[in-house]
Structure 1
Amino acid sequence: MVTVHIDRLHGSVQAPVLGSISFLNEVMGRHPGAISFAPGAPHPDTLPEADIQRHTDRFLDHVVARGSSPEQARRLLFEYGPSRGLINDIVAEALRRDHGVDVPPESYVITVGAQEAMLLVLRALFRSSEDVLAVAHPCFVGITGAARLLDIDVVGVAETADGLDLDALERACGQARAAGRTLRALYVAPDYSNPGGSRMSLDCRRRLLALAAREDLLILEDNAYGFTAAAGAALPSLKALDTERRVIHIGTFAKTAFPGARVGFVVADQRVGGSAPGEGPERLADVLATLKSMVTVNTSPLSQAVIGGMLLEHGGSLDALSRAKSALYQRNLRLLLAALDRHLGEAAPAGIRWNRPDGGFFVRVRLPVPADTALLEVSAADYGVLWTPMRQFYLDGTGDHQLRLSCSYLDPDEIEEGVRRLALFLTKETGR
């Protein structure tokens, strides 16, 4: 029997960041009775509204109305389809109408979730070991994990109350140059980031774009949680403010529609130069589509049809599609913060504090002791409550004394009881 030695495999297979999600799933499986604040998944109540057949039929009607025969439209569902996607026009119109992103469908690529979009963008942009990726710190493990798979070096830039520390980002650019390297791109989630929950102010967004222009920096914008902003509180995305095509915008329908479809998208309208006219790709989206043809070939036409039909049924509007979901997550976040105030509040042991985001799925709690896997096991086994250690979201181990609470997957009574258990756990265990 052949044995494949671990030392002969790519180094990423042993990277802790790649095992973080499976670890949490394993803990949840061992403690099925625990209330879990760990998963950042959509609430189950938001899923039954997806009527697969009705949405598919609605999309096919749209295709026929654009000039295809019913048989041609139906065949789209059973064939591979273009790597670039089938619903680009629907998604592009929704972003133009609702979010001021005025980019033609040709600059969109429909991907297998946002995760594939991140992988494709990183593969396209990072040519050599001299290129460095900057990420907001703490950072979503999906982007740092993808960078690890591709052997891309990553540097963290701290978040502040108003978003990214732009002075630190400018210093990172200078440090890279001094080392003979290039800080090629920055990954950032400006609205209610996972896991930090911070939101970038409008002024910070504008200053970030100005800094990117000075430093010749590309920005990878992840907008998974922007839809959870309270009514009237939405801020323009970086892409909507982008006048120089420096922003590559990544989106997903996992939260606004449902995650099982595995449909995301990337907006990449950057021009590609250097080749003879007519002989090379015209825009970065062309490059990403070519790479995708070697990775997943195409995104499932059936899944695209369902998402396209859902959008069309809501008047082609992302805001209309996500309005009820946004209200549910706003409610859950208010309940979580109120329960923390009620059960901990003034009675919280010294050194325990939490942030107060006004949108998104996540609240970050700081502890006077390490929030490690051993403490999580005590929390799950003895108190029946689960959470996510923050260490995995940091590049330098500075998150050891923090945990993340997600409110998205729970009902109001579970939030209340879960925080009661959490408060008992924190009060008894962190003072030892």
Structure 2
Amino acid sequence: MVELSRESLHVSVVDPVSASMNFLNEVAGRFPEAISLAAGRPFDEFHAVSDVDKHLQAYLTHLRERGLGPARSRQLLTQYGRTNGHIGDLIARMLDVDENIQVPAAAVMVTAGCQEAMVVALRGLCARPGDVVLAAEPCYVGLTGAARILGVEVVPVPESPDGLRPETVREVAAQTRASGREPKALYLVPNFANPSGVSLPVATRRALLDVAAETGLLILEDDPYGLFGLDDEPRPTLKSLDADQRVIYLGSFAKSYFPGARVGFLVADQAVVDAAGRRTLLAEELSTVKSMLTVNTSALSQAVVGGMLIDSGFSLRGANQAKIAFYRQNLRTLLAGLEHEFTGGPIRWNSPSGGFFVVVDVPVDATEELLEVSAREYGVLWTPMRFFYVGGGGTHAIRLSCSALEPPQIEEGVRRLAALLRA
């Protein structure tokens, strides 16, 4: 029998953060009755299997209206397809309707979830030893995990309580270059970030674009939660404010449609010029990277998502009104529960203006061992914030998520958490 040394495997295999996230899933599996304030997935009841066929038929009707016969439609859905996908034009229309982002369909790459979009973007941009990516910290583990697989260093840019500060980005970029490394891009989630819940003011977004231009950075804007504000206040994406094509926009249909479709996208409309002066779009150049990862994104999944976009009039905002109302109620329930259980004590938390997540500062070390006790003895799960720090941090904080539960479960989960922390 072959035996391999665990230490001989790539760092991404033995990564402690990835192992910790696996531990969280394992604990949830061992204690299925525990209320999970850890899971950031969408609420199950919004997803109907019947919608798959409904939206597939809508897309087939769309193809017929475009003049595609049965044989060509069958081939489009059942064969290998165009690497960058076949619904880029529909996604571009949705971005125009919902986000005031105008890009050509050729600038859209349809990916196997937003996770693939991150891998493709990082691999394409970080080409040489010493090329690094800056990231707002605490940072979504999907980005740090993707970078670790690729051997790309992530340099953290610490968030303030109000989110990322442009002057901090400028300082970290300068320090990174002074150390001999080259920062290629800045990753951030400007709307209700995972895990911090912070949303950036419009003035900060504009200032970040100015700093990116000044420091020669591209921006990787990840926006899975932008629909789910507590109010209808406009929160323009950085991409919609982007006057000089400095932003690569990363999107997903996981929260706005359903995660099982595994359809995400990136928008990369930056011009690429070769030695002979020929010009292409960055999305087209990155297709070579994607072709070696997944060949192409599932044509059937694209068709189902395309049908949903057609049926919704190309407005995810319009199609998600029930979800928006539900997640607003859930976040308000979570914040009210924290207020009821912890006001006047040593526990502190932030109050996001939307999204799925709240960060709670606790007067104990929020370890995996404590999480195990919490699940076994108190019946509640949460996520240690230390998972979201590159170089250490978040030891006395936890992330709570309210997306996958109904309000009574959220209230009971907070009561159980309060019992744990009192003990």
TM-score by length of 1: 0.95
Whole-Å Cα distance in 1 between the matches of residues 144 and 211 of structure 2?
23
Q: Tell me by how many angstroms 1:41 deviates.
A: 0.2
Deviates more, 1:147-156 or 1:137-146: 147-156
- Aligned partner of 1:355 in structure 2 is 350
Q: Give the CA deviation at 1:50.
A: 5.5
Q: What's the secondary structure of 1:77's corresponding residue? A: helix
Give the deviation of 1:164 after TM superposition: 0.5
Which deviations, in whole Å up to 9, do the C-alpha atoms of 1:360-400 show, x marking residues without a partner?
A: 00000001111011111111111111100111101122101
> For residues 49 and 333 of structure 1, do their structure 2 counterparts lie closer, same or farther at Cα, with a shift above 3 Å needed?
farther
The CA deviation at 1:133 is: 0.9
1:1-400 correspondence runs (5 A): 1-48=1-48, 51-278=51-278, 282-346=280-344, 348=345, 350=346, 352-400=347-395
Give secondary structure in 1 for the equivalent of 2:250.
strand
Contact 1:226 1:234 in 2 (8 A): no
Give the stretch that moved more between structures: 222-231 or 357-366.
222-231
Q: Distance in 1 between matches of 2:156 and 2:136?
A: 6
What is the alpha-carbon distance in structure 2 between the residues aligned to residue 4 and residue 378 of structure 1?
Answer: 33
What one-letter code is carried by the residue in structure 2 that aligns with 1:186? L
Q: State the alpha-carbon separation in 2 of the partners of residues 126 and 3 from structure 1.
A: 34
d(CA) in 2 for partners of 1:373, 1:331:
30
Deviations 1:93-135 (A, max 9, x none): 0101111110011000000000000000000000122112111
**What's the offset of the Cα at 1:234?**
2.7
Q: CA deviation at 1:174?
A: 1.0
C-alpha distance in 1, partners of 2:292/2:52? 28
Cα separation, 2, equivalents of 1:274 and 1:123:
18
Distance in 2, matches of 1:230 and 1:366, equals 22
Alpha-carbon shift at residue 161 of structure 1 (Å): 3.6
Q: What secondary structure does 1:266 align onto?
A: strand
1:335 is displaced (CA, Å) by: 0.5
Which secondary structure state, in structure 1, belongs to the residue aligned with residue 358 of structure 2?
strand
Number of equivalent positions: 423
Q: Tell me if the contact between 1:387 and 1:403 (Cα under 8 Å) persists in the aligned partners.
A: yes
Deviation at 1:162, TM superposition (A): 3.3
Residue by residue over 1:256-287, the C-alpha shift from the partner in whole angstroms, topping out at 9 and shown as x without a partner, is 00000000000000111233245xx6111012
Question: 1:49: Cα distance to partner?
Answer: 7.1
* Deviation of 1:5 (Å): 2.1
Counterpart secondary structure, 1:80: coil
What's the C-alpha RMSD, in Å, of the aligned pairs?
1.3
Alpha-carbon distance in 1 for matches of 2:367, 2:9: 28
Query: Per-residue displacement from partner, 1:26-54 (whole Å, max 9, x unpaired)?
Result: 00011111111011000012112761111
Consecutive unaligned residues of structure 2, counting only runs of 5 or more, are none
Name the aligned partner's letter for residue 340 of structure 2. Answer: R
Secondary structure of 1:250's counterpart equals: strand
Identity between Structure 1 and Structure 2 (%)? 50
Deviations 1:321-352 (A, max 9, x none): 22221111111000010111112222x3x2x1
| Structure 1 alignment gaps of length 5 or more | none
- Asked whether the 8 Å contact 1:161–1:199 carries over to 2, the reply is no
Check the 8 A contact 1:228/1:360 in 2, yes or no: yes
2:99 maps to amino acid: H
Deviates more, 1:168-177 or 1:326-335: 168-177
* Kept in 2: contact 1:192–1:225 (CA 8 A): yes
**What code does the residue aligned with 1:13 have?**
V
Counterpart position of 1:422:
417
SS of the residue corresponding to residue 269 of structure 2 reads coil
Q: How far apart, CA to CA, are the structure 2 residues paired with 1:97 and 1:294?
A: 32
Segment of structure 1 superposing worse, 139-148 or 73-82: 73-82
| Partners of 1:288 and 1:108 in 2: CA distance | 11
Q: What is the alpha-carbon distance in structure 2 between the residues aligned to residue 93 and residue 99 of structure 1?
A: 10
User: What letter matches 1:326 in structure 2?
Assistant: I
Q: State how far apart, in whole Å, the 2-side matches of 1:144 and 1:30 are.
A: 27
- Distance between the aligned counterparts of 1:344 and 1:9, measured in 2? 45
Superposed displacement of residue 4, structure 1: 2.3
Amino acid at match of 2:412: E
